[in-house]
Amino acid sequence: MKLTGIILAGGRNSRMGGVDKAFLVVDDKRIIERTVKLLSGIFDELLIVTNAPERYSISDVKLVPDLIAGVGPLGGIHAGLSACGNEAAFVCACDMPFLSAETISAQLAQYEREKPDCLIARFGKWLEPLHSIYRRELIPIVEQTLRGGQRSIRDFIERCSNKSYFELTADRQKSLRNLNTPDDLKNE
């Protein structure tokens, strides 16, 4: 089964002082370049959801704007799923420099076995909805959640009846790490 890779790059970056986190440099490479290279090797279709397409002129990557503006990452998931050409998509954030092909492949294998509507990464009780797989048929549930005034991805996940969890071991937890503040970047 083919899946789409979706990178959400629409945040305000307020905790990073307004600096676009996708363009932070880790190990001499911008995070967005690392992510595109990694996901291009896994997925046949790759999308970046952004309302600033002029910043993301990366070849062979389709740029998608939010369809419902100002509603955060759930709006990005909605736009990405609406634009993807496959039945499901792996969704990640643009500020995750340590994504792992091995971890994503293991998650994809579990998705293939179970075929849930969504497969959410989890470490203990901590959920990471931006390292997860969602089926396109969830678009109406995303829209219902947003129309109900809820912007939380967790509220949306609660509405999904056929969900599974991808349990992360401690050695895979680094794949979920994101950079939110200047201190996070300094510690890398």
Give the span between the Cα atoms of 83 and 56, in whole angstroms: 17
Which CATH number is 4-186's, of 3.90.550.10, 1.10.357.10, 3.40.50.720, 3.40.720.10?
A: 3.90.550.10
**pLDDT value of position 69:** 87
**Cα–Cα distance measured from residue 65 to residue 80, given in angstroms and rounded to the nearest whole number:** 9
Structure tokens at 137: 């048929």
- What pLDDT does residue 90 have? 98
Burial class (CB in 10 A: 0-12, 13-18, 19+), 77: buried
Instruction: Report mean pLDDT in 10-residue bins for the chain, 188 residues.
Output: 90 51 78 93 95 80 92 95 97 92 96 97 91 97 93 93 91 60 48
> Which residue do the tokens 């340590």 mark?
98
Question: What pLDDT does 178 receive?
Answer: 60
Binding residues for GTP: 8-10, 21, 66, 95
Yes or no: say if 46 and 62 are a contact pair by the CB < 8 Å rule. yes
Q: Are strands 126-135 and 88-93 parallel, antiparallel or unpaired?
A: antiparallel
Could you tell me the pTM of the whole model?
Answer: 0.90
Binding site members = 8-10, 21, 66, 95
Domain boundaries, the chain: 4-186
Which pLDDT does position 20 carry in this prediction?
A: 66
> Could you tell me which residues are annotated as the binding site for Mg(2+)?
95
Give me the pLDDT at residue 27, please: 82
Element (H, E) at 91: strand 88-93
User: Are 81 and 138 in contact, with CB atoms under 8 Å apart?
Assistant: yes
**Cβ proximity of 54 and 63 under 8 Å:** no
What pLDDT, on the 0 to 100 scale, is given for residue 31?
86
**Residue-level pLDDT at 175:** 63
Distance CA 49, CA 10 (A): 7
Q: Looking at residue 22, what is its pLDDT?
A: 73
